[in-house]
């Protein structure tokens, strides 16, 4: 088991504990969060489109029945 001081004395530790690495880690975290938000939004958009299609079909069916009744 490595301790923080033992790791910080290695080449990997120099990379891990450098200030620049925190910027890279922050960018990666922001990227993951934005990807998750994009996936959630696209899922909501698809649900909304399906709902609108169903509403449109119902309206068309009502119009068809009204037109048929009017022709009689």
36 vs 17, more confident: 36
**What are the phi and psi torsion angles at 41 (to 5°)?**
-65, -40
Per residue in 20-69, pLDDT tens? 778 888 999 999 999 999 999 999 999 999 999 999 999 999 999 998 88
Q: What is the token pair recorded at 65?
A: 């029945």
CB 43 within 8 A of CB 49: no
């Amino acid at each position: 088991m490595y301790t923080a001081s033992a790791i910080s004395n290695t080449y990997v530790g120099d990379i891990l504990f450098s200030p620049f690495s925190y910027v890279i880690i922050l960018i990666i975290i922001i990227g993951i969060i934005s990807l998750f938000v994009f996936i959630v939004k696209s899922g909501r958009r698809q649900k909304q489109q399906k709902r609108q299609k169903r509403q449109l079909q119902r309206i068309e069916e009502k119009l068809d029945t009204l037109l048929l009744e009017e022709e009689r």
